[in-house]
Amino acid sequence: MAVSVVIMNGPSLNLLGVREPEIYGRTTLAEIEEVCRARADRLGLSVALFGQTNYEGQMIDWIHHAREIDAGVIINPGSWASSSTAIADGLKILQRPVMEVHLSNVHRRGIFQHGSLVSQTATGIIAGLGHHGYLLAMDALAEKLAAPDAGTAPKSA
């Protein structure tokens, strides 16, 4: 079965479970990946877990690979959401839906985190629901990918 969904995570998400658990929770990235794999199986999706990177160029390479394999994307860009025009620009090339996920409600946080460049290219955005956001993103992607028009909306960013 061809990969239909890829999941990628940005800076410092490797520290989930120990980094500011009052904000990000105690669930580790490995645990999130495990429940995402189980949800994908239940939904009949093939998922590739690209993992986590602290290197912007690596994230862009992953986005390009997602395009090459024609997969939908779940991305938690972390702090790059508000600072990386390169990642936002890379997401514009995708032909499948993109779900942006944030564990915390970024709109209640510091002013520098308001205004996601990634959101301008995303099909949908889920924030503030902890690790459940990944599962909701998986559900939404399954629905979007099953639609006759499974591409993304026009990108304007």
Residue 83 marked ligand-binding: no
Catalytic annotation present for 134: no
Residue 76 marked ligand-binding: yes
The pair of structure tokens assigned to 99 is 């779900």
Q: Which DSSP category does 49 fall into?
A: E
State the angle between helix axes of 132-146 and 29-43 in degrees (0 to 180), rounded to the nearest 10: 30
Residue 129 marked ligand-binding: no
Q: How far apart are the C-alpha atoms of 101 and 104, rounded to whole Å?
A: 9
Which H or E element spans position 45? none
Catalytic annotation present for 102: yes
Residue 103 marked ligand-binding: yes
10 closest CA partner among 67, 65, 71, 74: 74
Out of 64, 65, 102, 114, pick the active-site residue.
102
Contact 129, 25 (CB under 8 A): no
* Binding site members for substrate: 76, 89, 103-104
* Binding site members: 76, 89, 103-104
Q: Active-site positions?
A: 24, 102
